A = this chain, B = another copy of it.
Amino acid sequence: MGIAERKEREKEDMRKLILNAARKLFLEQGYEKTSIRGIADAIEYSPATIYLYYKDKNELLFALHEDAFLKMMQELGQVRSIHDPFARLLEMGHQYIKYAIENPELYDLMFIMKAPMEALACREEIWEDGLKAFGFLKEVITECVNAGYFKNKNIEISALTIWSYMHGLVSIYLKNRMTMFQDGQELQGMQQSFVLFTSMLRESL
């Protein structure tokens, strides 16, 4: 009686088909300009079919949300090879900026858009992704404290403070508010600010 299993597999394949098309269009043309009809066209199904596999557009967004965190964790995870915890923290910062700049739509989805947070799954599931990433930051900070780099012992608050700075910096850039620099100087300005911030961390956190 392998029919049920095959149907289950086909259902999962269809979900993937939809999600892959959604991701492709989403990354190509941004969230706002990606319509259910567009996704349906891409996979050569009717728009109504999509609703048999995903409750609504927000749920589709939520699925991509998970993807985005997975990808970021994969890239940030590379820093594990760096022994010194403070050097690792710095490299995490660089990778964070790199990820945000290279994946502006994903970054938006992860940390700025309200839509995925409104998917009803948000009771617990959606927090997990963000909390896991935040936990990784806390781990590194804890090691920094243990190694004597930071004097502040409230890891939660230290992590929020560092993340706030990083998120603010890349948000200002991604949302085109870095008008204090002339065109082309934004990245250099970010770099200088990052150096300043890390020197503050080194000296007094």
Contact = CB atoms under 8 A, between A and B. Distances in A.
Interface stretch (A15-23, A38-46, A166-174): A166-174
Given A164-B169, A168-B171, A179-B131, A157 B203 contact: no
A197 interface: yes
A117 B176 contact: yes
Contacts of A176: 114, 117
Interface residues of A, number: 44
A172 B161 contact: no
Contact of A204 (B114, B157, B165, B200): B200
A204 B203 CA distance: 6
Q: Which of A117, A134, A160, A167 has the most CB of B within 10 A?
A: A160
27 contacts: A111-B171, A111-B177, A112-B171, A117-B175, A130-B177, A130-B179, A134-B180, A154-B192, A156-B180, A157-B192, A157-B193, A158-B196, A160-B189, A161-B165, A163-B172, A164-B172, A164-B197, A165-B197, A167-B168, A168-B171, A171-B171, A196-B205, A199-B204, A200-B201, A200-B204, A203-B203, A204-B204
Given A160-B189, A160-B190, A167-B171, 5 more contacts: A111-B171, A112-B175, A114-B176, A164-B172, A203-B204
